[in-house]
Structure 1
Amino acid sequence: MIELTPAEIERYQRQIMLPGLGEEGQKKLKSTTALVTGVGGLGGTVALYLAVAGIGKLILVRGGDLRLDDLNRQILMTNDWVGKPRVIKAKETLEKINPHVEIEAIPEFVTPDNVDILVRGADIALDCAFNFEERNLLNEACVRWDKPMVEAAMNDMEAYLTTIVPGKTPCLSCIFPEKPEWDRWGFGVLGAVSGTLATLAALEAIKLVTGLGQPLLGRLLTMDLGNLHFAKHRPYHDPDCPVCSKISQQKINQTLNLVNSEQLTVNSVLS
């Protein structure tokens, strides 16, 4: 069992005080590796709040260099880093904020060649990519390797958030069977909007890891932040989903087998 050092207990004492988290929840955070893709205005802020909460390890994945027009929302970045790989700066900043967290920076986009290695190396994934190609790849890999995924995306002043657990909840392909057109440069971005969504996404991961509160399992939270309108929806769990239907049926069969086995045991005892 992973133990907390005296310095960690002092650092996290205010959240350890939370009913439902405590030292056991803090130890669960410390023993968890989180994969964050798309480390920009959304993913960078997610990584920040996971780091200050005491996640054990962060795997940060994002290709491309920092642009000047990223700086209205990418809070891990500094002006002198424009033109350099942003994920390297994210690692540097987070290590200064919390040296207790192990951080691996991978300056690549999510591709068919690397997605399985990335997902297998993590306990939970947070999908903050800027396009549906990367999102679909991560969703499929998380289903394939039975890893939970927090899905977060935004467009202008609108955002959505859900938590996906393979075999138990709808996957991204169930929720968006027809992928919308997504132009990464085609909409405005306000840093406070991406930051709002990011803090909620980090909170979802913390809840899922520690058991604190109730995560958005089988629920899609939509947000109109221009009018501060929030709504929860129950997305369709497609029994014929090309991505998750097979694993869902396998888990149903496992549950039925367990129930039947327990019933047989009870019957044998009664007879």
Structure 2
Amino acid sequence: MEPLTPTEQERYRRQMMLPGFTVESQQQLKATTALVTGVGGLGGTAALYLAAAGVGKLILVRGGNLQRDDMNRQILMTDDWVGQPRVFKAQETLQAFNPDIEIEAVCEYVSAENIDTLVQRADIALDCAFDFAERDLLNAACVRHGKPMIEAAMNGMEAYLTTIVPGQTPCLTCLFPEKPEWDRWGFGVIGAVPGTLACLAALEAIKLLTHLGEPLMGQLLTMDLARAEFAKRRPYHDPNCPVCGDRTRQTLSTQLSTIATPTRPIASR
């Protein structure tokens, strides 16, 4: 892995003081490309903390222009940018915040035409899109290409978070085989709610990449922020899931074959 520059060593010194977080951990972040979809109140804040941690490259994906009612939660934006493509302002803000990393802005919504190319270029994805159509496309592409995905979503004062590793954990379709009705314009939001979830999502990505702590693999963290109630649940991992079932069976078959194969003893001399 590429060594850290003196500036990077200084910038990230405090996190490298954490037990279990080494110079090699920081180098792993530097070598990582993270895809963040839906760069708004949730995705934009998550991207900020990935940038702060030193993830080497961020690919930001979001179509559409900034609106004034986005301003109560989209902390990468400024009021003078209203009416312009928000993803370019996010890129500008993050690049000024940490000039040591690379930021790429893709002014498009996630679609069947662009998702495979985007996922193949990344090491990890953060799913912060505003609807299930985009989320399902990202989930399926991450399963196809074997890329881990941090799944984070909120509605009103409630939120959920999980880490999806294809073949090892339930995917988004396992969690929500039937998609709930959702109106992107029809829910209220206090900016601190997506902000709270975004910090946890960024932390999940950092933990998974650096082997720090215990990521939410196979666990769904649910949050009722109106009551400050948090719970962990074990979602069903559907072996016949139309999206991840084949990869899960393939992973299990490989694991069983490894266990069944005896290790050749080392000849003594």
TM bracket (short chain): over 0.9
Residue identity opposite 1:119 in structure 2: V
> Deviation digits for residues 126-165 of structure 1, max 9, x if unmatched?
0000000000000000000000000000000000000000
The equivalent of 1:164 in structure 2 is 164
Residue identity opposite 2:217 in structure 1: L
Residue identity opposite 1:265 in structure 2: R
1:239 aligns with 2:262: no
Query: Which has the larger helix fraction?
Result: 1
The equivalent of 2:128 in structure 1 is 128
Unaligned runs of 5+ in 1: none
The equivalent of 1:44 in structure 2 is 44
Residue identity opposite 1:57 in structure 2: K
Quick one: distance in 1 between partners of 2:26 and 2:251?
A: 29
The equivalent of 1:192 in structure 2 is 192
| Helix, strand or coil at the partner of 2:223 | strand
Quick one: distance in 2 between partners of 1:202 and 1:133?
A: 22
Quick one: distance in 1 between partners of 2:22 and 2:263?
A: 39
The equivalent of 1:154 in structure 2 is 154
1:81 aligns with 2:86: no
Quick one: distance in 2 between partners of 1:174 and 1:194?
A: 24
How large is the RMSD of aligned CA atoms in angstroms?
1.2
Equivalenced residues, count: 268
| Helix, strand or coil at the partner of 1:20 | coil
The equivalent of 2:92 in structure 1 is 92
The equivalent of 2:31 in structure 1 is 31
The equivalent of 2:183 in structure 1 is 183
The equivalent of 1:107 in structure 2 is 107
> Deviation digits for residues 192-228 of structure 1, max 9, x if unmatched?
0010000000000000000111000000000000000
Residue identity opposite 2:147 in structure 1: K
Residue identity opposite 2:105 in structure 1: A
TM score, norm. by length of structure 1: 0.97
| Helix, strand or coil at the partner of 1:44 | helix
> Deviation digits for residues 162-187 of structure 1, max 9, x if unmatched?
00000000000000000001111111
1:20 aligns with 2:20: yes
The equivalent of 2:118 in structure 1 is 118
| Helix, strand or coil at the partner of 1:13 | coil
TM score, norm. by length of structure 2: 0.98
Question: Which runs of 4 or more aligned residues in structure 1 lie more than 6 Å from their structure 2 counterparts after TM superposition?
Answer: none
The equivalent of 1:265 in structure 2 is 264
Unaligned runs of 5+ in 2: none
Residue identity opposite 1:22 in structure 2: T
- Cα deviation for residue 265 of structure 1 reads 2.9
- Cα deviation for residue 260 of structure 1 reads 2.0
